[in-house]
A = this chain, B = another copy of it.
């Protein structure tokens, strides 16, 4: 098949943040084209967005149901090849379900669903339909994160002993949800965000990053979960003791009330022989530490980087890549798999997928369950 893949988008209308990110990510490598969308619950807004995005008016759909139905009637090469779901958490499950049932692959924002049951159900649907499902845990798309994965997998540091993963934000230090801040609004509304605030929005990113990089699973958490801003309906801060399946221990903390912080999700891992440190704010560098040798600064694009990292890098060293490129890596890797699927490969014939999927989604939802429940029980341990 020699053409760009075609996709449709659910969500991402005026005022949204992550929809635009998905669109840039999909466009970056010239491998996908947005051909239809149901961007908003208001058809007027959907039509307006479609126009801005140069989408044919007839493919601006009032509902995702209509979009999925009508697109499925178009011939291959004209109809969308996959769907991007970028709505708030409570609106992931239904469209993802319908899309897969109608034969469309899905790429979906995180956390996977509103609650764990939905994630499990979605996993079942994915298996039954054989469709591809990608979950956009952006931070694992960075080439330096790939490098970290590879080095730990290769045993560079010996057995992992300790992990500290942090996601400090400060943008909700005041009650912004009571202003016209749309992003804060749905994130602090239990009917849209689910049972968790910061823990769901960013804690899951941190957990996913820690598990992805170490190749381990968090098996147990003891979480001190807080609402620091008066009147807030969901947590805005959590300090969590974590334990891994290999005996490693650590700390995960995430917050929306660390005044003055931006979005510097970061991780430190230590093994028997050394460790690593990576910060999303300077994503092209990683400190690699050793017991007896000077700390090294690994840099994106350099010759010594692993094949996995190199495959997720576009520019030579010294040309900083960022968040959008990391996001585009998720799309790029997803698209390459979808392409193979369209070319005839079955689900099980795909050897590897370099993107998070529904199983990561379930893990994330169970992480939320465990942290919130631990928080409600004065930080008693909860197994995942």
Contacts and interface: CB of A to CB of B under 8 A. Distances in A.
Interface string A305-341: 0000000001111111111110000000000000000
Interface residues of A, number: 90
Contact of A259 (B260, B290, B298): B290
Copies of the polypeptide in the assembly? 4
A2 interface: yes
A344 interface: no
Contacts of A69: none
Contacts of A253: 164, 251
Interface in A256-303: 257-264, 268, 270-275, 280-284, 287-299, 302-303
Nearest to A261: B289
Interface string A355-380: 00000000000000000000000110
Contacts of A298: 294
Contact of A319 (B263, B296, B299, B319): B263
A83 B325 CA distance: 25
A206 B93 CA distance: 45
A304 B293 contact: yes
23 contacts: A2-B54, A24-B28, A162-B257, A162-B258, A164-B166, A164-B253, A170-B289, A224-B241, A224-B249, A258-B268, A259-B271, A259-B291, A260-B270, A260-B290, A262-B317, A263-B316, A280-B318, A281-B318, A292-B303, A292-B304, A293-B304, A319-B322, A321-B324
Which 10 residue pairs are nearest across A and B when measured between Cβ atoms?
A263-B318, A260-B289, A262-B318, A320-B322, A294-B296, A319-B323, A322-B322, A295-B297, A258-B270, A262-B317
Interface of A: 2-4, 17, 20-21, 23-24, 27-30, 34, 51, 53-54, 157, 161-162, 164, 166, 168-170, 173-174, 222, 224, 226, 228, 237, 239, 241, 243, 249-251, 253, 255, 257-264, 268, 270-275, 280-284, 287-299, 302-304, 314-325, 378-379, 381
